[in-house]
Amino acid sequence: MGKLTSPRRTSGQATIKKIRDAYRRALKNSLFEISTLIKENAESELIENDLVATGDLLRSIDTEFVQVESFGYQINIGALDEAAIYVEGGRLGISDAKEFNVPISEIIRWVNAKGLPEESVFPIARKITRDGFYTGKGDRGKHPFEKAVEKAENQIEEILEKHLRQISPDAPSFEPDINFRS
């Protein structure tokens, strides 16, 4: 009987695998650093724009990066708090609304966090229902997440280059593909 052996890799194949693994590690380290930077920028945007009354939105910010192809990755940033969508994109009002279309319990929490009198809850709810908020000058929303990415754009290439230079000082420069989708 013959002896079964596993096919051996040639030294060239092993070297290619090591290089590929090193580049993947560098890319993952870069993306981790980039996602941390974007998260910190988003937190700063919320604080600078006084969008932290209850703190729920600030605490709910999260980032992740996921592999989308064999060598492609994507960074996702967002917040689990329901207010995130309205802070980012604003909210249009309904001028002829007969009922409130905002969660009164959330307005009560916000009023309490701001130290406003409880009597202000219904006028605020009525104003948001009728006029919306963060609308004006042709744009809606405060866009803290979009601004967080824009602030990081100049540093993204530097971060990627830094990690690639650690494994290959002669690696060619490149332009990262940065897209913001809200």
d(CA 82, CA 157): 32
Helix 104-114 with 121-131: angle, nearest 10 deg: 120
Residue type present at position 162: K
The DSSP symbol for 81 reads S
Return d(Cα 38, Cα 46) in angstroms, integer: 12
Higher pLDDT: 52 or 166? It is 52
Which pLDDT tens digit goes with each residue over 19-62?
A: 888 888 888 889 899 999 999 999 999 999 888 989 999 999 99
User: In this structure, which long-range contacts are made by residues 122-125, counting pairs with CB atoms below 8 Å and at least 24 apart in sequence?
Assistant: 125/100
Predicted pLDDT at 11: 66
User: Percent of the chain at pLDDT above 70?
Assistant: 82
Average pLDDT, the chain: 82
pLDDT value at position 172? 60
pLDDT above 90 covers a percentage of the chain that reads 25
Most confident of 11-15, 97-101, 110-114: 110-114
What whole-number distance in Å separates Cα of residue 48 and Cα of residue 107?
A: 21
What's residue 112's pLDDT?
Answer: 93
Q: Are 12 and 107 in contact (CB under 8 A)?
A: no
Do 135 and 92 contact (CB within 8 A), yes or no? yes
Residue 143 has pLDDT above 60, yes or no: yes
Is residue 161 within 8 A of residue 173, CB to CB? The reply is: yes
Mean pLDDT of 87-105: 83
The residues pairing with 135 across neighbouring beta strands, listed in sequence order, are: 140
Contact 107, 133 (CB under 8 A): no
pLDDT of residue 57: 93
Q: Per-residue pLDDT averaged across 142-154, rounded?
A: 90
